[in-house]
């Protein structure tokens, strides 16, 4: 069956003065309609670059070095800018951490929504306004008709993010990519935005990629998780199995480092060191300098992401290879 | 609270910021008459609490509720409008800067952004030595160097890197250096304002461990400011929950998380995402946090409170003791309705 989205061995590089930096290294995954996937990892892991690559927002000095991005059967990695623009904001919408990445401060939100609609559809101003009001209502903005005439600065941060989601919904996209959508918001507002994302996906028509560093947030919303470290996927599977029984030493480290995972007041399990600078990625498994289970082979050879039936997920780690027979 | 003498005592603290701007910004026409308008941010409104030796006292609340203002007012980075602050029984808010000197080494502050708070043109060694030599002018260079190396070791930064500049360190390392700087003067009390909020999860754990270790080794007392409730749950002894410049609930950690009493605390705690536990419902509050420029009458929370009744619109509820050690500012709780 054809997937909604299929990334095949995507490599994204940045051509810098001192050489090429590989920000995304051989990333593959699939997403179907109604799937909600969390893309997690620490800052610099390559989460945003992965998201940007899907909607063709990698710009110089960055480039997609290899791989395919099949979306509804079309390879987005090899599409020209005009065709991509047609897909962005139409079939695929993106929500950023900062709502002002999407909103234009000098236009009313009504104008912005109407313009987006009319860029993709041949409809009158009245029809566009009616659709805009409908979407604002979906994200629970009170008295949306009046709100159309207001400017972004007249809304609070939480409302702005809801308006961004309303804009993302205008064209009934098949895929929404939300990059840290609640990171800048207070917890009570975050809880509302997460409810909203869940509500929108409940129809089963839309796929969601939720990019975040916050595992607790991911566990509220998603049904599968992809964990990235230094540009590579280290573990990928259902949210429940990964959160309750992480297998990759990095995922284990991340979960055990959370304050909630230990007796209150006791020392936290810390992962020693920090994620490498992508220009100086260690040879072999890039996690080996921080890994408590590091073996000789880990320093020499890079493990491959393989499916382990008994763990119902994909893992990239020699520990697994030694214990079980994985398949690619 | 208890019979111990408090290390820090804050009474009825009020701090307003006048943001009226220049004369022209302030002129308004009202009923055909020109008037001067004053715009005031009510950042802290009658805040009182005590902190005891050796405890970690956390202040939580959503952005803009006055947490940073409170921390800065205590170390006198901001002058206060009303109220009093006592340190070990001595009133410090009225002291001049000379009389304040000994307290400046006893109380130290650590900020969220270690890069902004470290001088980029100073080597780590200079950064660490400066406050120590300032407070101990007679110390020899050799002794100062030894102290710097010892503290760097303690916070987990290689002393061999003492002659490097802040930009050569990662965010986590820089936060270790700002903690080291605070420790250089042998403080008793540290105010940490969102010290791990800018850091990655695995680094947050390292820095929290550092705070807990330093407390064990040196018997430190902390005022820990954060919006991250899972961190609060882990490290605190007692917790004060703030809303719009007011403390709405103050309690020991365990009862606060198990049985939040104030309607705002209940809503706040219900909104925390918990790892691996999908919430069916959280308490949804009406509307949004009002601006501290036009403070609501009565209880500052009444416009959003699901329990608000007549009295809440007019009368400011006092923070008063409900169960032993649990203080709540709510008419509904006081009257046994909540
Ligand atoms: N415009 C750019 N120029 C150079 N390098 C970049 C650029 N954008 C991202 N990178 C590199 O790609 C890596 C991954 O970045 P990103 O995907 O933003 O991480 P994440 O979203 O996981 O925090 C970063 O370490 C950074 O070095
Ligand atoms: N220097 C200042 N001048 C004017 N207003 C300020 C200043 N510092 C803080 N405020 C205002 O005071 C209120 C409380 O701010 P703050 O203490 O920073 O909150 P928090 O740290 O809880 O996010 C906010 O409304 C903020 O805008
Ligand atoms: S005092 Fe009234 S309005 Fe305020 S929290 Fe209690 S019940 Fe709600
Ligand atoms: Mg990112
Ligand atoms: Mg603050």
* CB-ligand 3 contact for B330 (6 Å cutoff): yes
Residue A27 lies in a domain: yes
Report the gap between the CA of B241 and the closest CA in chain A (Å): 14
A chain contacts of residue B248, beta-carbon cutoff 8 Å: none
Look up the domain containing A249 and give its range: 5-91+171-323
pLDDT mean across residues, chain B: 92
Task: Tell me if A257 and B288 make a contact (CB, 8 A cut-off).
Answer: no
Check whether A321 has a pLDDT greater than 70. Answer: yes
Check whether A266 has a pLDDT greater than 90. Answer: no
How large a percentage of chain A has pLDDT more than 90?
A: 75
Given this model, what pLDDT does residue A35 score?
Answer: 95
Cis peptide bond upstream of B26, omega within 30: no
Burial (CB < 10 A; 0-12, 13-18, 19+), residue B105, is: middle
> pLDDT tens digits for A39-74?
999 988 999 999 999 999 998 899 999 999 999 999
Domain tally for chain A? 1
Check whether B208 has a pLDDT greater than 90. Answer: yes
> Which residue's CA is the nearest one to ligand 3's atom 1?
B330
Given this model, what pLDDT does residue B1 score?
Answer: 46
> pLDDT tens digits for B73-94?
999 999 999 999 999 999 999 9
The pLDDT of A251-279, averaged and rounded, is: 87
Check whether A232 has a pLDDT greater than 70. Answer: yes
The second-level CATH assignment, the architecture, of B105-236 is 3-Layer(aba) Sandwich (3.40)
Taking CA–CA distances from A186, the nearest residue in chain B reads: B62
Of A255, A260, A265, the CB nearest to B230: A260
Residue A224 lies in a domain: yes
> pLDDT tens digits for A155-166?
888 899 999 999
Residue A299 lies in a domain: yes
> pLDDT tens digits for B283-328?
988 888 888 998 999 999 999 999 999 999 999 999 999 988 999 9
A chain contacts of residue B170, beta-carbon cutoff 8 Å: 274
* CB-ligand 1 contact for A48 (6 Å cutoff): yes
Residue A180 lies in a domain: yes
Distance CA B35, CA B58 (A): 43
From the candidates A159, A180, A186, which should be mutated to test the interface with B, based on the most B CB atoms within 10 A? A186
Residue A120 lies in a domain: no
> Which residue's CA is the nearest one to ligand 3's atom 3?
B302
> pLDDT tens digits for B147-205?
999 999 989 899 999 999 998 888 889 999 999 999 999 999 999 999 998 888 888 99
Mutating to test ligand 2, I would choose from B14, B17, B40 the residue with most ligand atoms within 8 A of its C-beta, which is B17
Assign residue A246 the CATH number of its domain.
3.40.50.300
- Touching check for B231 and chain A: CB below 8 Å? yes
> Global pTM?
0.91
The pLDDT of B210-216, averaged and rounded, is: 95
Residue B57 contacts residue B74 (beta carbons within 8 Å)? no
Mutating to test ligand 3, I would choose from B262, B267, B308, B337 the residue with most ligand atoms within 8 A of its C-beta, which is B308
From the candidates B205, B305, B306, which should be mutated to test the interface with A, based on the most A CB atoms within 10 A? B205
Q: Alpha helix locations (H) across chain A? A: 47-54, 81-87, 109-120, 125-138, 144-147, 157-169, 187-201, 215-221, 239-244, 249-256, 318-323
* CB-ligand 1 contact for A59 (6 Å cutoff): no
Residue A318 lies in a domain: yes
Residue A144 lies in a domain: no
A chain contacts of residue B216, beta-carbon cutoff 8 Å: none
Residue A119 lies in a domain: no
Residue with more model confidence, B16 or B338 = B16
Given this model, what pLDDT does residue A45 score?
Answer: 94
The pLDDT of A122-150, averaged and rounded, is: 92
Q: What is the ipTM of this complex?
A: 0.87
Report the gap between the CA of B281 and the closest CA in chain A (Å): 9
How confident is residue B212, by pLDDT bands cut at 50, 70 and 90?
Answer: very high
Nearest Cα neighbor of A178 from A216, A214, A207, A209 is A209
A chain contacts of residue B209, beta-carbon cutoff 8 Å: 267-268, 270
- Touching check for B62 and chain A: CB below 8 Å? yes
Ramachandran category for residue B21: left, alpha or beta (phi over 0 → left; psi -120 to 50 → alpha): left
Report the gap between the CA of A234 and the closest CA in chain B (Å): 16
How confident is residue B29, by pLDDT bands cut at 50, 70 and 90?
Answer: confident
Q: How far apart are the CA of A44 and the centre of ligand 1, in A?
A: 6
Pairing between β-strand A313-315 and β-strand A232-238 as defined by DSSP bridges: antiparallel
Contact residues for A315 (Cβ-Cβ < 8 A; gap 6+):
A234, A235, A247, A248, A305, A306, A308, A326
């Amino acid at each position: 069956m054809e997937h909604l989205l299929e990334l095949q061995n995507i490599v994204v590089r940045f051509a810098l003065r001192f050489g090429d930096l590989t920000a995304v290294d051989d990333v593959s995954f699939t997403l179907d309609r109604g799937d909600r996937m969390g893309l997690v990892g620490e800052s610099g892991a390559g989460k945003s670059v992965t998201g940007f690559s899907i909607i063709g927002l990698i710009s110089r000095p960055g480039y997609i070095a290899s791989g395919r991005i099949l979306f509804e059967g079309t390879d987005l990695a090899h599409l020209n800018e005009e065709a991509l623009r047609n897909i962005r904001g139409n079939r695929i919408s993106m929500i950023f951490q900062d709502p002002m990445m999407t909103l234009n401060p000098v236009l009313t939100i009504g104008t912005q929504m109407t313009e987006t609609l009319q860029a993709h559809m041949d409809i009158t101003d009245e029809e566009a306004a009616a659709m805009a009001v409908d979407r604002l209502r979906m994200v629970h903005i009170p008295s949306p008709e009046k709100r159309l005439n207001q400017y972004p600065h007249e809304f609070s941060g939480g409302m702005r993010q809801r308006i961004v989601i309303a804009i993302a919904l205008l064209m009934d996209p098949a895929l929404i990519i939300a990059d840290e959508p609640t990171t800048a918001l207070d917890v009570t507002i975050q809880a509302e935005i997460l409810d909203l994302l869940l509500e929108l996906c409940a129809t089963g028509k839309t796929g969601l990629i939720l990019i975040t560093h916050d595992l607790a947030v991911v566990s509220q919303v998603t049904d599968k998780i992809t964990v990235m470290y230094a540009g590579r996927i280290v573990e990928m599977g259902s949210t429940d199995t990964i959160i309750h029984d992480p297998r990759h030493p990095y995922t284990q480290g991340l979960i055990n480092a959370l304050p909630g995972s230990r007796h209150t007041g006791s020392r936290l399990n810390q992962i020693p060191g920090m994620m490498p600078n992508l220009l100086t990625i260690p040879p072999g498994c890039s996690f080996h300098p921080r890994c408590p289970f590091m073996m000789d082979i880990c320093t020499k050879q890079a493990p491959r992401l393989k499916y382990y039936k008994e763990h119902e997920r994909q893992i990239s780690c020699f520990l697994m290879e030694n214990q079980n027979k994985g398949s690619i | 609270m208890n019979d111990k003498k408090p290390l820090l005592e804050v009474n009825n603290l009020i701090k307003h910021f006048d943001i009226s701007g220049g004369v022209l910004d302030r002129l308004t026409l009202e009923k055909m008459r020109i008037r001067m308008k004053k715009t005031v941010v009510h950042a802290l409104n009658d805040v009182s609490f005590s902190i005891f030796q050796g405890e970690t006292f956390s202040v939580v609340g959503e952005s803009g509720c006055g947490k940073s203002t409170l921390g800065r007012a205590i170390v006198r980075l901001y002058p206060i409008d009303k109220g009093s602050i006592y340190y070990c029984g001595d009133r410090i808010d009225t002291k001049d800067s000379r009389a304040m000197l000994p307290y400046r080494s006893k109380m130290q502050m650590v900020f969220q952004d270690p890069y902004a708070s470290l001088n980029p043109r100073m080597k780590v060694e200079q950064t660490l030595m400066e406050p120590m030599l300032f407070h101990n002018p007679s110390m020899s260079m050799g002794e100062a160097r030894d102290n710097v190396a010892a503290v760097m070791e303690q916070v987990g930064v290689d002393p061999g890197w003492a002659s490097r500049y802040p930009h050569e360190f990662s965010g986590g390392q820089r936060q270790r250096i700002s903690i080291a700087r605070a420790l250089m003067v042998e403080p008793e009390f540290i105010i940490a304002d969102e010290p791990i909020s800018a850091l990655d999860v695995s680094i947050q754990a390292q820095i929290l461990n550092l705070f807990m270790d330093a407390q064990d080794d040196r018997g430190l007392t902390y005022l820990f400011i954060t919006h991250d409730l899972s961190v609060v749950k882990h490290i605190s002894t007692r917790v004060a929950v703030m809303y719009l410049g007011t403390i709405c609930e103050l309690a020991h950690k365990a009862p606060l998380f198990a049985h939040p009493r104030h309607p705002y605390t209940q809503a706040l705690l219900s909104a925390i995402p918990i790892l691996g536990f999908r919430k069916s419902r959280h308490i949804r509050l009406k509307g949004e946090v009002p601006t501290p420029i036009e403070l609501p009458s009565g209880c500052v929370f009444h416009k959003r409170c699901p329990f608000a009744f007549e009295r809440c619109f007019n009368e400011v509820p006092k923070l008063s003791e409900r169960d032993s050690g649990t203080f709540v500012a709510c008419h509904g709780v006081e009257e046994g309705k909540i």
